[in-house]
Chain A
Amino acid sequence: MSTHDPMSTAFTRREFLSRGLTLASAAATLPLFIQRSAFALPHAAPGMTSIPGVNEGNILVVVQLGGGNDGLNTLIPFGDPAYYKARPTIGVPEGRILKFGSTGLGLHPALRGLMELHDRGLLGIVQGAGYPNPNRSHFKSMDIWHTADTSATGLGWIGRYLDAECCGYGKGEGGRPEGGRPAAPDPQAAIAIGRDAPLAMQGAIAKPIAFENTDLFRWTGENVHSALVEPYKRITRRGVSDPADEETNAGFLMRTALDAQLASDRIRKAVAQRPLVRYPGGELSRQLQMVASMIRAGLSTRVYYVTLGGFDTHAGQGGENGRHAQLLTQFGDALRAFYDDLKQQGNDARVLTMSFSEFGRRVGQNASGGTDHGTAAPMFLAGPMVRPGLLGKHPSLTDLDDGDLKFTTDFRAVYAGILQHWLGADPKRILPVSVRPMEILRRA
């Protein structure tokens, strides 16, 4: 397979999707993703690309650190005396910091897991990620990161990617292809672990699957009486609708119901597998373990989304130890276990993980031993294919904007890099701004 010329491959992703749709109209009773799989080659087959050099099986995992992670106590500029001056009690002692050579920068000691990934060449750190005219409201700033638009409005950046990749977004009003119903996207293209689907994944057409745990991604009526289980399966698997009425809403609903039930079965089965490695405790760890199981089960999902909250450390955030340190431990250890698992599976090279937070925190600590809402902060990129080490420039601790860091990398350049280099999509068609895609992958 490795000698296969990518340009001569029979199906590009776009072709395969449009063929899937042609078949869909011919066979109304098949669920959508089974029709697709009729044309789908095994995942990660080299050469399944729409852009040469980009693997069709690539997966993106987004880790959202909610609440505003204190970037300066994550990637610590200990070499700058201004750091200890601004943070007399929450500053982390230099001797404890996990240093990057002589850069004067290092990771918080709680991030041992991340440092291990770094030492294995699996970690890239984008420094000073932010955007112009930073907004310090959690909601607004989170929406800005989700939409990639500083007006904090519009569709999600991942949603727009899925729209563009699977349904011809932008051809008509509201993402509707000219002259007809919107094309049906792959129902499993995006999965978010969480109560509701993040704005980032909302497209005009593409909508993610979202569930907090797989018990909720199913019909709860089954819990009412066991006699309901079989009739329920029958009513969702055998429709009332005449197959000739494929174009009716009734037919559409029948197929979606069937999709939902099959996806539910498949995802629940996937997640029930025992993981190949031991995961630490904690919410993020639980979520990443589920994602690893779904990847192992070979779902067609391109983007997974997980979240860890609690980073809004206005008071008593601690320094070397304490609340913030505990969150960082959870983050680093979960990510390390996740990549150990993926490596055992043989899927690690297919998975790129990106973490972000809606903002960093102010440079100076406040009177309550915490930090208030700030601006730029580091983003982490993990995976065997990422360009390892420090990327971009660390923001100055003295050239500030009203007590806040000035961002050095527009986060949308990171998105653009991921879209173009990892997902093989054209960022110009997806992002609302034009930015130069960051080089986020190692050179081949």
Chain B
Amino acid sequence: MTTTLQPSSTSPRRPAVTASMKPIAPHRFGFDQARHLLWRAGFGGASEQIQMLASWGPEKAVDHLLNYADIPFEPVPLDDFDSSIIRSPTAEERAAARRARRNGDEETLARLRARRQEAERNDRRQMTQIQRWWLRRMIETPRPLEEKMTLFWHGHFATSYRTIEHSYNMLQQNALFRRHAAGNFGDLLFAIIRDPAMIAYLDNNDSRKGRPNENLARELMELFSLGVGNYTESDIKEGARALTGYTFRDTEFVFEESNHDDGPKTILGRRGRLDGDGFVKAILEHRACAPFIAGKLYRYFVADVPTGRADLDAAADAAVRELSKALLASRYDLKPVLRKLFLSEHFYDPAVVGEQIKSPVELVVGAVRSLNTPVRDLGVLIDALALMGQNLFFPPSVAGWAGGRSWINTSTLFVRQNTLCYLLTGKKPVGADAAANAEKYDPAPLLAGLTRADPSAATDPARVIDYLLRLTLPSPSQARRDELLAFVDSLGGRLTPDVVTAALLLITAMPEYQLC
């Protein structure tokens, strides 16, 4: 591997950003492009993975990521978790509680309260187990795009455990997102109005004929499909009527016919005795839907627009228009759209590469996957993610995570750097109660990509530093290289594992390490 270092990451006079959605030429798809693809369509990769994708060329590399269903991997272990920690009381239990309340039987009431609190405690514990399970899955999966899209839908159809307090419903929703990860957006929209977690989160279980609750109807259009300004208050009212009776019991969707308002309605110009499916169909036929979803996919995979750079913003607009057309042409099948995006010249434009701020999950999962660090303690990593602002299964609101620059502030930047320090060294990353972890990080596998071809390279500081920089930073500068070489020199110039680890500590503390 040869390395060309640039004098500075960008120069004031830069070439115009390409808006071309034409496929990138195979000869222009090398190590750096494969690295970019792995970061954006997944969570980064180790050097062998990058080299393999680069050797395959763009089409095969992208198809490998997209056709993940061909790669065997464990199914979601729904049976490993308890679906009935939180359950509705039986008829007898309800009667007993009524009796106790009537008779002022404090003792029974206290026992019932204690039992409920115990169940809630157990459920919170299960929620943390599910958090850890998902984080481990993201770290270990051979199908990174599947998890990346599952995370996308979790932020898009944001639902929080904090509100619904039912861990198994959260797990079911997570499984739903994974089932449709790169499937069909329309199918997912039909499924989401039947999802117990979503129904509970947006109060549709309280929505009845005659007194509809508008929460789900509103967000279905505002945040999930069309965006503000593309529907009226009347569409919300009528949509809410269409969704009456869509409820759930414990872990199952239930359509309560007697609570459903089956009268005639007009939603987004579509008329009839519309139910939830009729509402979703009206949405999918609306001209604002494809551009809205294309725009969200673009912000997730490409760039947090608007960027403030006029040429990039214009190119982004053009790219979103193309993606939106592709989405309509495929009838909301996502794979052709993602394929177009991941192959496009625009996706590999220098203005796009290395300009995205990693989400906390991308940072942590990506660090383990690309640097081969020990996982150490999943609980510590989950806590660190929460401190960085991305508590899995607890998005801050129905609007999901704002992403982009909102991830970064003076506090979260330290947490990010210190979490990397924890992964590399086992030093406590966050609160004083987090235990240190003694497992030693071994950088040798990381260097294998360099030393396999030429074992002598392992003792050459310049080659090792160049190699590490190219693996870890999107466009490393000469100044960074000099700093690291001086550092290695100050420690005697010998590249022991500890010195390589220390160099990685500095690299991962560089502000630009937060970019991918």
Residues of A within 8 A of B (CB): 139, 143, 152-155, 173-174, 179-182, 187-188, 195-197, 202, 204-205, 207-213, 216-221, 223-225, 227-228, 231-232, 234-236, 238-242, 244-245, 247-250, 252-254, 256-257, 259-260, 263-264, 366-367, 372
Contacts and interface: CB of A to CB of B under 8 A. Distances in A.
Interface in B373-404: 386-387, 389, 396-399, 402, 404
A195 B430 contact: yes
B76 interface: no
B452 interface: no
A254 B9 CA distance: 13
A367 B110 CA distance: 10
B483 A234 contact: yes
B408 A252 contact: yes
B506 A174 contact: no
A240 B479 contact: yes
Q: Which 8 A-B pairs have the closest CB atoms?
A: A253-B511, A260-B410, A240-B477, A244-B12, A195-B431, A257-B511, A207-B409, A247-B308
A257 B413 CA distance: 7
Contacts of A236: 509, 511
Contacts of B511: 235-236, 239, 250, 253-254, 256-257
A138 B486 CA distance: 53
B interface, how many residues as a size bin? 35 or more
Contact of A220 (B429, B433, B476): B429
B136 to A, nearest CB: 22
B399 A174 contact: yes
Interface of B: 8-12, 106-107, 110, 113, 162-163, 228, 304, 306-309, 354-357, 386-387, 389, 396-399, 402, 404-406, 408-414, 417-418, 421-422, 425, 427-433, 476-477, 479-480, 483-484, 486-487, 490-491, 502, 505-506, 509-512, 514-515
Contacts of A212: 431-432
A216 B430 contact: yes
Given A217-B414, A249-B515, A182 B408 contact: no
A187 B409 CA distance: 7
Given A221-B427, A256-B413, 12 more contacts: A179-B306, A187-B410, A195-B431, A208-B411, A213-B432, A224-B425, A231-B486, A235-B511, A241-B9, A249-B355, A250-B355, A253-B511
Contacts of B412: 207
A139 to B, nearest CB: 6
Contact of A209 (B107, B410, B490): B410
A143 B162 contact: yes
Nearest to B507: A235
Given A195-B431, A235-B510, A202 B396 contact: yes
B506 A228 contact: yes
A250 B421 contact: no
Contact of B163 (A152, A155, A213): A152
A89 to B, nearest CB: 16
A264 B410 CA distance: 9
A198 to B, nearest CB: 12
A245 B413 CA distance: 20
A178 to B, nearest CB: 10
Contacts of B509: 219, 221, 232, 235-236
Contact of B308 (A155, A181, A204, A372): A181
Contacts of B431: 195, 212, 216
A204 B418 contact: no
A221 B423 CA distance: 11
A249 B427 contact: no
Contact of B397 (A153, A252, A253, A254): A153
Nearest to B505: A221
A65 B367 CA distance: 38
Interface centre among B414, B427, B477 (most CB of A within 10 A): B414
Contacts of B430: 195, 216
A182 B411 contact: no
Nearest to A154: B397
Contacts of A223: 427
A235 to B, nearest CB: 5
Nearest to A179: B306
Contacts of B408: 252-253, 256
A249 B409 contact: no
Given A236-B511, A250-B511, A253-B511, A260 B506 contact: no
A260 B413 contact: yes
Contact of B386 (A196, A249, A253): A196
Nearest to B124: A139
Interface centre among A155, A212, A231 (most CB of B within 10 A): A231
Contacts of A220: 417-418, 421-422, 427-429
B506 A232 contact: yes
B383 to A, nearest CB: 8
Contact of B414 (A143, A188, A264): A264
Contacts of A143: 162
Contacts of A221: 417-418, 421, 425, 427, 505-506, 509
Contact of B405 (A152, A153, A252): A252
Contacts of B417: 219-221
Nearest to A207: B409
A173 B483 contact: no
Nearest to A211: B411
Contacts of B512: 240-241, 250, 253-254
B410 A240 contact: no
A378 B399 CA distance: 34
B67 to A, nearest CB: 32
B159 to A, nearest CB: 12
B9 A260 contact: no
B418 A249 contact: no
B514 A248 contact: no
B421 A224 contact: yes
A253 B405 CA distance: 9
B515 A242 contact: no
Nearest to A223: B427
Interface centre among A252, A253, A254 (most CB of B within 10 A): A253
A264 B414 CA distance: 10
B502 to A, nearest CB: 6
Given A154-B397, A216-B430, A219-B509, A250 B9 contact: yes
A221 B399 CA distance: 35
Interface centre among A209, A219, A234 (most CB of B within 10 A): A219
A248 B353 CA distance: 12
A232 B399 CA distance: 37
Contacts of B307: 181, 247
A26 B307 CA distance: 18
Contacts of A217: 411, 414
Contacts of A207: 389, 406, 409, 411-412
